[in-house]
Amino acid sequence: EAQVTQNPRYLITVTGKKLTVTCSQNMNHEYMSWYRQDPGLGLRQIYYSMNVEVTDKGDVPEGYKVSRKEKRNFPLILESPSPNQTSLYFCAIRDRSQETQYFGPGTRLLVL
Amino acid sequence: GNSVTQMEGPVTLSEEAFLTINCTYTATGYPSLFWYVQYPGEGLQLLLKATKADDKGSNKGFEATYRKETTSFHLEKGSVQVSDSAVYFCALLYSSASKIIFGSGTRLSIRP
């Protein structure tokens, strides 16, 4: 069964303090992506990666960075977090031959 | 461009009531269509899907039929339970190489 792990699950930080949210998978899927979920806005894609060393911007990439140095990990980096990045973040994976997307449990971030 | 529109919530029903959550889409060609469900405190998980016109996806008593003529994929359940309380997302995937596009989500609450 596909498993997507995110850490931490909850994080409170202050404006400007760099943070990283990790995402790892146990399925060797090529496609990984990050979303943020905000009330009334549904899910918006931040960044995605089609394979190792291949990353692309989603719909709301400003203020975020990602890297894909190995297939199983896809960390989300906030170099200088701001309060408008307070949100619920989800990592997701998908095998390109399949269509089902599997989501991690979410990371709730509060930026003060 | 491709988009998904679903009915706004919240939707509140009594147990054993009939449920319909409307979803319409805009896309060129023949996308695959999905319903995802998000239970409180969890990530999204696939509820059902349909990959071509007139297909019916079903799971856990929920059903949705891919209607190309009306570009719709409405979610239905004949008799809802309290445990069905969750947020439901309609989504489409244009191709295996593209991203999944989500609707804004519909919160469903079921009263005992």
Q: Is A22 a residue whose pLDDT tops 90?
A: yes
Band (pLDDT 50/70/90 cuts) for residue B95 is confident
Q: Strand, coil or helix: what is A85?
A: helix
Q: Is B96 a residue whose pLDDT tops 70?
A: no
Selected residue of A99, A102, A103 to mutate for chain B interface (largest B Cβ count, 10 A): A99
> Mean per-residue pLDDT for B94-99?
72
In chain A, residues 32-61 whose CB comes closer than 8 Å to chain B: 33, 40-43, 45, 48, 50, 58
Cβ pair B100, B2 in contact under 8 A = no
pLDDT in tens, B17-34: 999 999 999 988 889 999
Q: How many CB atoms lie within 10 A of CB A84?
A: 10
CB-side neighbour CA atoms (13 Å) of B1: 6
The encoded tokens of residue B27 equal: 């896309």
Cβ–Cβ of B44/A43 closer than 8 Å? yes
State whether residue B31 sits within 8 Å of chain A by CB. no
By residue count, chain A amounts to: 112
Cβ pair A19, A86 in contact under 8 A = no
pLDDT in tens, A56-108: 999 899 999 999 999 999 999 999 999 999 999 999 999 767 778 899 999 99
Band (pLDDT 50/70/90 cuts) for residue A5 is very high
Please report, rounded to a whole number, the percentage of residues in chain B having pLDDT higher than 70. Answer: 98
Band (pLDDT 50/70/90 cuts) for residue B82 is very high
Q: What is the pLDDT of residue B97?
A: 64
**Amino acid identity, residue B104?**
S
Residues in chain B closer than 8 A to A94 (CB atoms): 100
Q: Is B9 a residue whose pLDDT tops 90?
A: no
Q: What is the pLDDT of residue A25?
A: 96
CB-side neighbour CA atoms (13 Å) of B17: 16
In chain A, residues 62-81 whose CB comes closer than 8 Å to chain B: none
End-to-end CA distance of chain B: 41
Residue entry with tokens 């899910």: A43
Residue of A nearest to B90 (CA): A42
Cβ pair A55, A67 in contact under 8 A = yes
Residue entry with tokens 């399949």: A98
